[in-house]
Every structure is written in structure tokens, then in C-alpha cells.
Amino acid sequence: MTDTSANLAMPFIMPSQAQKHVTHNEALLRLDALVHLAIVAERATPPPSPTEGACYLIASPAVGDWSGREARLACRQDGAWVFVQPRTGWRAWFLSDGRFRVFSGSAWQDIPLPQQGSLDRLGINATPDSTNRLALSAPASLFSHAGNGHQVKVNKSAGADTASLLFQANWTGYAEMGLAGDNDFSIKVSDGTTWKTAIAITGAGRVSKPSQPVARVYRTGTTVSPTSGQRSGFTSFEVNQGGFALGSAAPAGGNELTVPASGLYQVTLNLSVATSSGHGATLLSNATQVLLSVSGISGGQQTQSATSVVALSAGDVLSLGHSGTAQIQLGSGKTELYLIML
């Protein structure tokens, strides 16, 4: 029979032993140090004023009273150091970094997660909550393949629900892509308050841009004969998407058309006349800049068209400038202006 136990090396009380209480108390002190083991820190130098009962993991190269005791536990008992060699499977709470570790036989390592498990919430360098049950704070996240490819799946319960990726700045949403409220794939953007759909794709593969500026605008009536040098405008939209608006009144009737956004536009002017003594028309930006022009000949009913790509700024106003004399035909399908932002 050995003098100590196999795992904690506690001394046994031997037959006919004198002062049995010494051996018994030594065993209790060892239990006191090793059961529910808490390691203050890993260090190579003994602390100058150790607390009774404190345990340290001796780092390399150890010096002073700890010299030659690397990788052992140094426990302060009765004003002296007691050195213990850890055994495989021992567990300890490391106070210095708040981690629970297990001794593998050669090193103290974090206790691994089970191969399979279920958690109500998980935070990785972040705090999860009842909505964000998985929370991650990191410079980047990597999802890699195991075999050939890799899919990230976002599933929703019903068509009216949302399955999307939301992009935020300072916790305010500015962009979202996915199935947001229906089963069409969409990309939406926001100014921090109002959301607009930039692109929508149906299940049939058809693409729409519901916020792209598009207009088809005309002036109601039958005919008008503006004086040469006058400007006229528009009164009605056949198509209006993306925020076009009718602004101030033009001198020869109708209203100026206000451009909603800066960018390149394809513009087409269609001019229809009933009679003419020689005429011309220009599309004007801000009453002065000529964007495109058409001209006709003396005679009866005729139509002229012109198309161009022009740069416009948000807030620009468009109107028609007239020259010569003609009876201009009004209404949808007659004299019209078409615009689409490219």
C-alpha cells in the first residue's frame, strides 16, 4: 500500500502512526487547494505578498522559490509554498482572464464545445438578445466550403414575411436585399427614414426599376399657336415614375417640368403640327440651355422627332421654345416629351 492517494496525492494515516492529526490536516489542506481549483494567474515569479490559500500556475523560466517547478501549481499554505503536479482531467477557473480550462496532460486548454448541441442564444464577442439570438462582433466573417460549394440559406415562414440581408450604419438601415414582404427579389435603399425599391425581380425573371425616373408628358387641348420666341410647357403625365413634377407656369401656357434626380437622361421630343408656315421647337433646360431641336416646313399636317442623351441635374426645369408659326397639335399621342434616366 502506498503512502498517498493516486489522484490528489493526499497522505494516508498509517497504522500505529504518531500525531495522526498532522497527516489528516495535510490532506485537508490539499483538498482545500485543489477541490474547486481557482488559479490566480500564470507567472514565473512568486508574488511578493501572497494570500493564504492562493494558487498559481508556474510559468517558464521560474525563479526564486519556484525555480525548477515550471508547469506545476504553487499553492500558499501555512505561510509556505506547496507544489502540486496537475493530472490529466483536472479543471480550474483562471481568474486572470475569466476562463474555465482543463489540463490535457501537457497543457491547460479551454474546454471544447460538444460535437452536437443546441443553444437558445449565442454571442461571439457580442451580447445576443431575444431577437438577435446569434450575435457576432468581428472584423469579418468567413463561410467556407466543405467539399465543393457553400450556401447561406435565409428562410421565411410565408410570402408576406421577410427573408433579407439588412445593411446598417450606426444601427440605422440604409439598404436591404432579399424577399421583403413578398416573393419577388428586391433591392431597397433608404435615406434613413423612407425606403424605396431600386430593383425588383419577379419569379418569371422580369426586372423592374420602380424608382427610376421615367416620364411621358404632354399638354391637354386641341391646338395652340405660340408666338415665335415664346416658351410653353406641359399639363399632364401619361407616365410618371421617380418623382417628376410640374412646376411654374410657362409664358405660352402649360407648366415647366421639374427633373427629380441628377444623371444622364435619354430624351425624345415629338412635335405634331396641323399647319405650318415654317416652324421650329427646342427643348430648353432652365429656359436657356438648348438640349435638342426639331424643325418643319411650310405646309399641312406633319410630325418631327428628335432624340438625345443629356446630363440633367435635380431641380432643372424643362420647357419648349418656339420659332416660326404653326398650329401645334396637343394631347396624348401628339406633341409629347419622353424622358428616362439611364
- Mind listing the pLDDT tens digit for each residue in 245-264? 999 999 999 999 999 999 99
| Sign, Cα dihedral of 206, 211, 214, 216 | positive
Q: Which alpha helices (H) appear in 2-74, and where do they start and end?
A: 20-34
Q: pLDDT tens digits, residue range 184-204?
A: 999 999 999 999 999 999 999
Tell me the three cell numbers of residue 178. 432579399
68 within domain boundaries: yes
Q: What is the pLDDT of residue 310?
A: 98
φ, ψ at 64 (rounded to 5°): 60, -140
Question: Which domain covers residue 97, as residue numbers?
Answer: 36-110
Does residue 130 lie within any of the structural domains? Answer: no
Do residues 272 and 258 make contact, with C-beta atoms less than 8 angstroms apart? no
Q: Does 186 lie in the same domain as 220?
A: no
Do residue 235 and residue 329 come from a single domain? yes
pLDDT tens-digit readout, 224-239: 999 999 999 999 999 9
CA-based radius of gyration for the chain: 42
CATH number, residue 333: 2.60.120.40
Q: 37 and 108 in contact (C-beta within 8 Å)?
A: no
Tell me: do 274 and 200 sit in the same domain.
Answer: no
Say which residues have a Cβ less than 8 Å from residue 53's Cβ, sequence separation at least 6. Answer: 32, 33, 75, 76, 77
pLDDT at 107: 94
pTM attached to this predicted model: 0.65
Report the SS3 class of residue 4: strand
Pair (176, 237) in one structural domain: no
pLDDT at 116: 83
Number of domains in the chain: 3
- Decide: helix, strand or coil at residue 170: coil
Specify whether 203 is located in the same domain as 238: no
C-alpha cell at 104: 490535457
pLDDT value for 114: 79
Q: Which three cell numbers stand for residue 188?
A: 431597397
| Predicted local confidence at residue 27, as pLDDT | 58
Q: State the amino acid at position 168 in one-letter form.
A: Q
pLDDT at 140: 97
pLDDT on residue 231: 97
Question: Are residues 229 and 276 both part of a single domain?
Answer: yes
224 shares its domain with 334: yes
**Residue 167 and residue 227 share a domain:** no
Q: Are residues 228 and 294 in the same domain?
A: yes
**Assigned domain for 162 exists:** yes
Residue 242 falls inside a structural domain: yes
Residues 168 and 253 in one domain: no
Helices (H), 204-249: none
227 & 205 share domain: no
One domain for residues 310 and 325: yes
Low-confidence ranges of the chain (pLDDT < 50): none
